[in-house]
């Protein structure tokens, strides 16, 4: 199959937009002046965990109430003495004067008598004011104003978040888009579970993440919970959980984003919601196209090196029916269509995912609150591989894999609060069926995986304490593996039972200080890709291993969270995680132009270190958000190759830090300067391929025209620094300086 034939399959879905580059507009901030009566004030509504509250009703005096957006914010008019009232179902009403600030933050507490139990990324009730987990929430506003094209670009503002390699997903091979937290590294598969509305987004066959699957404007916020979470979520949650919280249609609204960027990039995002008499609907779409760039370092390029481009379209529709104020049922459909060049004329891949979700949330009075989700996917993934000569002047197609897969799953959960005690219980099941067909050799392999789990949590909040104990029992199996064609090989079945407990404790002390501690066990089952499919990135070939077993992790962390009033909050801690039998790609042979590896259960790796995060507002117009992670992640046991003991875990640097300095004035607009730095790391288990550290500066600026229009511009990698992304074994680079200009309507 040629690249032209492959592109022909998706041409009918492509939409192309070119927006002329007009440069970056400067935004300048004047010294604050006395505001006249009737000024515009931005009101942002949050809960006690600093999570944005969308749909809050904000009313100034006797004027008509307006509703907060997905970022929890809304603009109102009034003088300094005007009384503003904020109301939201499940929360205590708040009233205060507007004052003379141009932006105020209102914190709402959960209503006591009619306490509403909802579910977060940690599956703990919303009423919990402190959690032993290290949680970071990126609001919709923060996501939209973070420089970058894709969701993973924006999440890089969280220290410790990274993909398998430093390359962004808009040019990366999909099989390198697995993510990790807490310095645990990853292979193709994620050691972190990514989900949305209780539905896992990790690829059914390979465990990596399709970061463009959900249309950009259909995401309300993203919650990152660091540390093992298999006690509630089962497989893949060794490093934590990333919850992509969706927009829920509740009223008429619309949004549009259109932008053009260097590297031949164009972006169009749209969203519309509406409803009447208990029926609500949503439609959203994203179209992304980029010509990309050549990943191979300039000194090593040859005629076969071409741009790694990406053409993707995603769409979502949802129909929701509400019953009263607390009960609803919904149906949701999502589609992703994507085609990529992987850096040479003969290396390309395509993905198409249809995802279906149905479910509901309802309250049964004193019995508790119930949640149910039933979901499925139908996916096709295809990828070509080639061999390239030493001078990179020619290549030969060596394999073309077609990997259809199907997934069916469901979850049911119950939660009940009674005074100081909250109980959570649930069960879920996930069934994956996948095939790998290599069309050149006519060898095909099919297999099936299934995981079932039951879990429970008891949360006790006496006085200044919060104590949570949770545990989960999982059965994980991989079976019915069959090969047709080629040389027969043993394909053993996997059948494992796993028990994962977790204990978390929070002690609130004087002065807004909370001390936290937790201990856990977690696991990750090997994916079908790791068990049965040979992969390739560049000239690095990785062999499958059908005898792999699940990874098992044990860990603990302790720290402190300090609230400094109107100035913000600071959080820090120490973590330690030990993973037994981690799946890693071990080098079998290497030449200057190619590397052969095989997946193995490595033995043991340990990651330990320190983290710090802060969100501060030293003055009214300035916000500082940042984090730092120091992680010592090394191989601590491997009897097969003792020489690997003590080596760094691949793709995990010792030091990572982020800092966002944000300046905002309602009259003039907003500017942010984002700094991101990482120490050196290695791209292989033997630590032969060193990747240098880097420091990168990104810029974002916007200006508002009225309440709905915004014009913005971003610069990624302002200094155009060559970021070493991988050695496969040839050096590949991260994205060069990229300039974007766009307009938003909301």
Given this model, what pLDDT does residue 110 score? 62
CB atoms within 10 A of CB 11: 9
Instruction: Tell me which of 8-17, 39-48, 121-130 is least confident.
Output: 8-17
Location of structure tokens 């503002």: 157
Given this model, what pLDDT does residue 111 score? 54
pTM: 0.84
Best-predicted range by mean pLDDT among 8-12, 447-451, 489-493?
Answer: 447-451
Given this model, what pLDDT does residue 104 score? 86
- Mapped onto helix, strand or coil, the DSSP state of residue 233 is helix
Q: What percentage of residues in the chain have a pLDDT greater than 70? A: 90
Given this model, what pLDDT does residue 8 score? 45
pLDDT band at 124 (very low <50, low <70, confident <90, very high): low
pLDDT band at 89 (very low <50, low <70, confident <90, very high): low
- Mapped onto helix, strand or coil, the DSSP state of residue 144 is helix
Best-predicted range by mean pLDDT among 89-98, 114-123, 156-165, 206-215?
Answer: 206-215
Helical residues (DSSP H) of 121-259, grouped into ranges: 140-144, 151-155, 230-233
> Which tokens is 239 given?
């490093």
Distance of CA 289 to the CA centre of its chain: 21
CB atoms within 10 A of CB 270: 20
**Nearest C-alpha neighbor of 233 from the set 467, 49, 471:** 471
- Specify whether the CB–CB gap between 402 and 380 falls below 8 A: yes
pLDDT band at 315 (very low <50, low <70, confident <90, very high): very high
Separation of alpha carbons 183 and 44, rounded Å: 34
Task: Average the pLDDT over 658-683 and give the result.
Answer: 92
pLDDT beyond 90 at 296? yes
Best-predicted range by mean pLDDT among 311-315, 621-625, 648-652?
Answer: 311-315
Separation of alpha carbons 27 and 13, rounded Å: 38
What residue ranges define each of the domains in the chain, with the CATH number in brackets?
Answer: 3-17+140-745 (2.40.170.20), 40-116 (2.60.40.1120)
3-state secondary structure 371-415: EEEEEEEEEEEEEEEEEECCCCCCEEEEEEEECCEEEEEEEEEEE
Location of structure tokens 């043991």: 604
Give, in order, the Cα–Cα distances in Å from 423 to each of 266, 429, 538, 700: 48, 21, 50, 44
Given this model, what pLDDT does residue 456 score? 95
| Residues forming beta bridges with residue 293, ordered by sequence position | 308
Phi, psi of 88 (to 5 degrees): -160, 135
Query: What digits encode the pLDDT tens for the residues 423-441?
Result: 999 999 999 999 999 999 8
Given this model, what pLDDT does residue 679 score? 96
Give, in order, the Cα–Cα distances in Å from 409 to each of 359, 510, 610: 12, 45, 37
Query: What digits encode the pLDDT tens for the residues 508-554?
Result: 898 788 899 999 999 999 999 999 988 777 677 888 899 999 999 99
Given this model, what pLDDT does residue 728 score? 80
Q: What is the mean pLDDT of the chain?
A: 87
| Residues forming beta bridges with residue 20, ordered by sequence position | none
Residues with Cβ within 8 Å of 293's Cβ and at least 6 positions away in sequence, in order, are 171, 263, 307, 308, 735, 736
Given this model, what pLDDT does residue 598 score? 86
Given this model, what pLDDT does residue 55 score? 77
């Amino acid at each position: 199959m040629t690249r032209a034939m492959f592109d022909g399959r998706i041409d009918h879905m492509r939409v192309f937009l070119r927006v002329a580059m007009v440069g970056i507009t400067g935004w300048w901030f004047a010294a604050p002046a006395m505001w006249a009566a009737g000024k515009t004030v931005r009101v942002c509504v949050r809960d006690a965990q600093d999570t944005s509250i969308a749909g809050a009703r904000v009313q100034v005096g006797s004027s008509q109430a307006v509703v907060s957006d997905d970022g929890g914010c809304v603009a109102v008019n009034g003088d300094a003495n005007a009384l503003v009232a904020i109301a939201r179902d499940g929360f205590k009403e708040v009233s205060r004067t507007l004052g003379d600030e141009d932006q105020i933050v209102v914190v709402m507490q959960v209503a006591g008598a009619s306490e509403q139990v909802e579910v977060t990324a940690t599956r703990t009730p919303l009423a919990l004011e402190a959690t032993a987990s290290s949680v970071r929430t990126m609001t919709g506003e923060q996501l939209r104003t973070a420089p970058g094209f894709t969701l993973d670009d924006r999440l890089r503002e969280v220290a410790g978040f990274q993909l398998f390699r430093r390359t962004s997903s808009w040019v990366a091979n999909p099989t390198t888009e697995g993510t990790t937290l807490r310095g645990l590294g990853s292979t193709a598969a994620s050691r972190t579970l990514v989900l949305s509305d209780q539905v896992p987004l990790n690829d059914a066959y390979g465990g990596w993440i399709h970061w463009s699957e959900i249309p950009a404007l259909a995401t309300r916020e993203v919650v990152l919970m660091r540390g093992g979470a298999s006690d509630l979520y089962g497989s893949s949650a060794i490093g934590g959980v990333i919850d992509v919280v969706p927009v829920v249609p509740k009223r008429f609204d619309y949004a549009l984003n259109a932008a053009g960027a260097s590297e031949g990039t164009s972006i169009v995002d749209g969203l519309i919601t509406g409803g009447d008499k208990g029926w609500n609907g949503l439609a959203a779409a994203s179209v992304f196209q980029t010509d990309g760039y050549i990943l191979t370092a300039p000194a090593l390029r040859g005629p076969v090196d071409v741009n790694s481009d990406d053409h993707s379209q995603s769409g979502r529709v949802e129909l929701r029916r509400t019953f009263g104020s607390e009960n609803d049922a919904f149906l949701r459909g999502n589609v992703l269509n994507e085609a990529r060049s992987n850096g040479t004329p003969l290396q390309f891949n395509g993905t198409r995912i249809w995802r279906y979700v149905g479910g509901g949330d309802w309250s049964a009075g004193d019995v508790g609150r119930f949640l149910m989700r039933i979901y499925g996917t139908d996916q096709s993934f295809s990828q070509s591989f080639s061999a390239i000569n030493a001078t990179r002047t020619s290549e030969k197609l060596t394999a073309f894999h077609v990997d259809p897969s199907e997934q069916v799953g469901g979850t049911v959960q119950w939660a009940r609060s009674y005074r100081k005690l909250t109980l959570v219980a649930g069960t879920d099941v996930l069934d994956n069926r996948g095939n790998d067909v290599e069309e050149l050799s006519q060898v095909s392999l099919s297999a099936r995986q299934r995981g079932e789990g039951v879990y429970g949590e008891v949360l006790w909040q006496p006085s200044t304490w919060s104590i949570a104990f949770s545990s989960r029992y999982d059965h994980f199996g991989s079976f019915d593996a069959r090969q047709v064609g080629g040389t027969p090989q043993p394909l053993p079945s996997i059948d494992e039972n796993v028990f994962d407990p977790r204990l978390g404790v929070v002690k609130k002390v004087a002065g807004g200080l909370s001390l936290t501690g937790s201990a856990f066990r977690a696991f990750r089952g090997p994916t079908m890709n790791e068990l049965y499919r040979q992969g390739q990135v560049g000239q690095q070939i990785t062999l499958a291993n059908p005898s792999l077993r699940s990874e098992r992790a044990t860990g603990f962390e302790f720290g402190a969270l300090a609230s400094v009033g109107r100035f913000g909050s600071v959080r820090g801690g120490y973590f330690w995680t030990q993973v037994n039998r981690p799946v890693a790609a071990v080098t079998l042979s290497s030449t200057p132009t190619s590397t052969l590896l095989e997946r193995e259960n490595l033995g043991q790796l340990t990651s330990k270190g320190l983290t710090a995060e802060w969100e501060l507002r030293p003055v009214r117009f300035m916000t500082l958000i940042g984090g730092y992670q120091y992680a010592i992640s090394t191989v601590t046991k491997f009897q097969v190759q003792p020489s690997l003991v003590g080596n760094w875990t691949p793709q995990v640097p010792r030091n990572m830090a982020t800092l966002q300095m944000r300046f905002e004035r309602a009259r003039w607009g907003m500017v942010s300067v984002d700094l991101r730095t990482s120490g050196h790391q290695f791209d292989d288990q033997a630590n032969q391929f060193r990747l240098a550290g880097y420091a990168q500066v990104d810029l974002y600026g916007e200006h508002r025209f009225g309440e709905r229009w915004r014009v913005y511009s971003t610069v990624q990698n302002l200094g155009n620094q060559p970021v070493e992304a991988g050695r496969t074994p040839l050096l590949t680079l991260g994205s060069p300086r990229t300039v974007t200009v766009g307009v938003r309507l909301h």
